[in-house]
Every structure is written in C-alpha cells, then in structure tokens.
Amino acid sequence: MSKKISILIANYNNGEFFQDCWNSLVNQTYSNWEAIIVDDKSTDNSVEIIRQIIHGDSRAKLHINERNLGCGYTKRRCAELGCGELYGFLDPDDTLEPNALELMNSVFSENTSVVLAYSKHRRYDSTLTNIISKEYNISSIDSKDIFYFNLSGTITAFAVFKADAYKKTAGIDAYMLRAVDQDLYLKLCEMGETMPVHEYLYKYRIHANGISTGDGIATVSKAEYWQWYAINAAAKRRGVYVEDLFSQYYINKSMYNKLAKDYQLVLNSVGFKLSRKLSAVKSIFFKKK
C-alpha cells in the first residue's frame, strides 16, 4: 500500500545547503510524498533560495514564521501543515538516500502495529562527500526498561512516524529549543510499537553553523539541559521518578569527562616529557607481579 509521506523541513539560515536536500527528495524511488518547509524567519537569503528551487513543484509547501520562534515551534508548525499518513523529519542541510521513502513505506505497510520506525545514519563533512562517522548498530526500544528514556540516543535519523499516532500525543513541544525530536519520540513510544530499520537512510552534514556544532561546549551544555527536560516530561507522563538515573548517568558522566579532560591537559603540558608519558603508561599496563 502506498502511503503519502510528509517530509517535515524546519529551516533557519540553511538555504545554502537546501539544493542537496531537495535533490535527495526529487531523486527518491518512491513518489508519493510532499515537502512541508517552514522557515523560522531566516536572516540570510534562505527564503529566496528555497522559493527558486521548489518553484512550480506542487509537492512543496513553504510557510514563513512572522518572527523567529525557535526549533520547537517551527517543527510543530511543519506537523500541523502536513497532510500525509506518515511524517518524517529532514533537516535542510541533510539528505536522504534514494530508497529511504520506499523502504519506510514498506515497513509501515507490512507492520501495522508499528507507529515509529527509525534507520541508521552516517555523518559527513560539510561537502557530504567524506564520512566522518556512522552508526554501527541501533536497538529496539523496550518501554519497560529504564533506558527507554533514550539516554543513548537510540532513536535517530531517519525517523518516520504515523500521523494518527502523532495526533494522539500532545504533539511537538513548541517551547523547546533543542532535543525536540527526542521529546516527540518519547511520546510516540507510548502510542505503540517502534521498529529499528538496519539500513543507512540518512546523511547528516557536519558544518560550522549546525545547531549541534555552532557553540562548542556551550552547545553541548544546552543540549544536555533540553535532553533532561524531555526525559523529565516523559517521566511525569508515566508517573515515575528519574532522580537516581540523573545522578548515576549525568553527574557521573560529567565527573568522568572532567577527569578525562584534566588528564589530557597534563599529558599535553610542556613539562610532561615524552619519557614520562611512556613511564606512566608502563606503570599502568606492565606492573610487576
């Protein structure tokens, strides 16, 4: 069965990359799709670029926010404008593999109880030519497991979900600035079964202006805040507490990262000679018995 797929694209100042994004849709082996593009009042020439690229194509709808309202609001607006049976997020600086929509349609046609399916992804450089990293494994979600709260980022791109399941949730949180997708996926997990698709369907572009790379350490801290915002919201819905999980995962992880950073600073210091580095390594791994 051919299901219409609404590709939800929230844009802010990524017009320079949109041609690649659009080409990856036009070149899909599956034709029953629409592109819902919402621009969050970009300050560059994104709107002009996007209008020129999609000109005359009835599959594309472009909406422009009256003012900059953030990621959560913009993605929620995308979902409100979608008309498909299935929804899937695609960032304007990323692309899909040619068989992505065809495969996802098959997954939902063959597994009627599934409300959310998600693939593996590869991370590329800014030109989308060189692979930086990739997911080797993705796991199924067990809602009875405490790690159901998605701490390890199990659900990533490309994620596709049923529109009717989405409408049974509170929807995308317009207040959130980051971790918007994670918050939604936690909600969708409560609506039915999820399924990992063990194929690489999404190409994630790493570049200087990306939302996850722009501010360095500050970006990581902000992302962690919104991650815990999403986790606490899920815990509240389910009537459970994640205080212990917070202390075990977040605090210990932060302490480990600090110690690792401090240790690296010592190793890289001018006064710590190479011979002393080797001596330190030997003392750890070659202790006399």
**Per-residue confidence (pLDDT) for residue 288, from 0 to 100:** 40
- Are residues 275 and 228 part of one domain? no
**Per-residue confidence (pLDDT) for residue 156, from 0 to 100:** 85
Q: What is the CATH number of the domain that holds 143?
A: 3.90.550.10
- Are residues 231 and 248 part of one domain? no
Per the document, the length of the chain is 289
Span 246-275, pLDDT tens digits: 766 665 655 656 656 665 565 555 444 444
Q: Which domain holds residue 217?
A: 5-238
- Are residues 16 and 69 part of one domain? yes
The amino acid occupying position 204 is Y
Residue 234: pLDDT band (50, 70, 90) is confident
- Are residues 279 and 163 part of one domain? no
**Per-residue confidence (pLDDT) for residue 105, from 0 to 100:** 98
Select the more confidently predicted residue: 267 or 190: 190
Helix 46-54 and helix 18-26, axial crossing angle in degrees, nearest 10? 20
- Are residues 24 and 91 part of one domain? yes
Side-chain half-sphere of 213: how many Cα atoms within 13 Å? 10
CA–CA dist 4, 7 (Å, integer): 10
- Are residues 161 and 101 part of one domain? yes
Task: Give the chain's mean pLDDT.
Answer: 85
- Are residues 250 and 171 part of one domain? no
CA distance from start to end of the chain = 67
- Are residues 255 and 146 part of one domain? no
Span 62-92, pLDDT tens digits: 999 999 999 999 999 999 999 999 999 999 9
- Are residues 142 and 9 part of one domain? yes
* Angle (CA) 144 147 153, round 5°: 130
Span 131-155, pLDDT tens digits: 999 988 888 887 666 666 655 667 8
- Are residues 131 and 30 part of one domain? yes
Span 198-232, pLDDT tens digits: 999 999 999 887 655 555 545 656 877 888 888 88
**Per-residue confidence (pLDDT) for residue 277, from 0 to 100:** 46
- Are residues 107 and 40 part of one domain? yes
Instruction: Domain count for the chain, please give it.
Output: 2
- Are residues 126 and 101 part of one domain? yes
